[in-house]
């Protein structure tokens, strides 16, 4: 009788509608970085759409993978998600010898939130004024020119690896702990080139400390309309952006995943909110869980091959 009396309560508890309590959005990077900025921009808007508080919580370490692991291990009810990136959800785990999670089996893509282009930049004092001129300089002295990055396996590192594969050049990798010190050394001419996010390098381009040679996306940037794309510069297959995507644990009910996508799309339907993201350097995305999964799977296949060919390894 006791078991029977508890059954309806247990069933009701399991089928509680989403969302039924406050939500935690995990971020794998420190406060002040691009992912953290985007999370804190979108969290209040998602709170409005979902009717529950959305709290941003930073779980740093492991190249951003600690937050992903925490989200993967959370109860699959939609109340714990992570705002992941191409870097910590694809590139870094693929480069690890023993990754702490499987990006295709351990998480559920919910919706792509935004993207930012990378920009190929050189010091303002560099003799290279175009991608072709930089390639000529690099080929004239293989291994002498170097490129900065935010660390092994990061998007900056991958962008440079793709550039070298596409142009037949050889650059020496100089990894840094972040964009700040990398940009300082780049403006000083200590390193010769970097492929960094638009939001990071734009102020230095405008102040003539860095020269933009190309953007890495298929279309030109509205904020740098005079700068050609890599495709226009002679690399027909070169198309990279750094995306941000919401993920939940594996096993998330389809209805919960769809509700998250609905909230993201509703947020982006607000013109004022979209404008706010654009002003902050982000390109709003949106879409369905299925579309997010397609983007994720395509980039897993792509960067697995890049990592193999470029022999990039993280212990």
More confident residue, 180 or 245: 245
Q: What is the CB neighbour count within 10 angstroms for residue 48? A: 13
Encode 6-26: b = buried (16+ Cβ within 10 Å), e = exposed.
Answer: eeeeeeeeeeeebbeeebbbb
Backbone φ and ψ of 164, nearest 5°: -65, -40
pLDDT at 118 over 50: yes
pLDDT value, residue 315: 67
pLDDT at 9 over 70: no
pLDDT value, residue 153: 83
pLDDT at 275 over 90: yes
pLDDT value, residue 214: 98
More confident residue, 80 or 283: 80
Sequence-distant (≥ 6) Cβ neighbours of residue 134 within 8 angstroms = 120, 122, 126, 128, 193, 213
pLDDT value, residue 123: 98
pLDDT value, residue 260: 98
pLDDT at 128 over 90: yes
Sequence-distant (≥ 6) Cβ neighbours of residue 175 within 8 angstroms = 148, 149, 150, 151, 152, 157
The per-residue pLDDT for range 58-117, each reduced to its tens digit, is 998 887 899 999 999 999 999 999 999 998 999 999 999 899 999 999 999 999 999 989
Could you tell me the pLDDT band of residue 15, with boundaries at 50, 70 and 90?
low
pLDDT value, residue 11: 38
Do residues 221 and 197 touch, judged by C-beta distance below 8 A? no
The per-residue pLDDT for range 201-256, each reduced to its tens digit, is 888 999 999 999 999 999 999 889 999 999 999 999 899 889 999 999 999 999 99
Angstrom distance (rounded) from CA 94 to CA 312: 9
The per-residue pLDDT for range 136-177, each reduced to its tens digit, is 999 999 999 999 987 788 888 889 999 999 999 999 999 887
Angstrom distance (rounded) from CA 237 to CA 288: 26
pLDDT value, residue 175: 87
- Terminus-to-terminus CA distance in the chain, angstroms? 56
Could you tell me the pLDDT band of residue 269, with boundaries at 50, 70 and 90?
very high
Least confident of 1-15, 41-55, 75-89, 287-301: 1-15
Domains of the chain listed by start with CATH number:
19-115+242-310 (3.40.190.150), 117-215 (3.40.190.10)
Q: What is the DSSP string of 196-220?
A: EEHHHHHHHHHTTSEEEEEESSSS-
3-state helix, strand, coil in the chain (%, to 5): 45, 20, 35
């Amino acid at each position: 009788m006791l078991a029977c009396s508890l059954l309806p309560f247990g069933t009701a508890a399991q089928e509680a509608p989403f969302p039924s309590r406050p939500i935690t959005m995990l971020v794998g990077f420190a406060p002040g970085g691009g992912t953290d900025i985007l999370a804190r921009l979108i969290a209040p808007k998602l709170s409005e759409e979902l009717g529950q508080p959305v709290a941003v919580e930073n779980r740093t370490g492991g190249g951003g993978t600690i937050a992903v692991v925490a989200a993967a291990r959370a109860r699959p009810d939609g109340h714990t998600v992570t705002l992941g990136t191409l870097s910590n959800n694809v590139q870094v785990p693929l480069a690890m010898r023993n990754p702490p999670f499987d990006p295709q089996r351990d998480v559920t893509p919910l919706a792509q939130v935004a993207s930012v282009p990378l920009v190929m930049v050189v010091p303002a004092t560099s003799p290279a004024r175009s991608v072709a001129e930089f390639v000529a300089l690099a080929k004239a002295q293989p291994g002498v020119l170097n490129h900065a990055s935010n660390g092994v396996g990061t998007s900056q590192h991958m962008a440079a690896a793709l550039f070298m594969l596409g142009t037949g050049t050889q650059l020496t990798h100089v990894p840094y702990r972040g964009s700040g010190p990398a940009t300082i050394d780049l403006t000083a001419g200590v390193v010769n080139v970097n492929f960094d996010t638009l939001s990071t390098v734009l102020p230095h381009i405008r102040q003539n400390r860095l020269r933009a040679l190309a953007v890495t996306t298929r279309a030109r940037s509205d904020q740098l309309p005079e700068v050609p794309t890599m495709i226009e510069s002679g690399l027909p297959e070169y198309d990279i952006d750094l995306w941000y995507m919401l993920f939940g644990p594996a096993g998330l009910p389809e209805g919960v995943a769809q509700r998250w996508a609905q909230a993201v799309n509703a947020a982006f339907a607000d013109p004022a909110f979209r404008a706010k993201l654009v002003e902050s350097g982000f390109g709003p995305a949106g879409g369905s869980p299925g579309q997010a999964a397609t983007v994720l799977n395509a980039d897993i296949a792509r960067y697995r091959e890049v990592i193999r060919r470029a022999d990039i390894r993280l212990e």
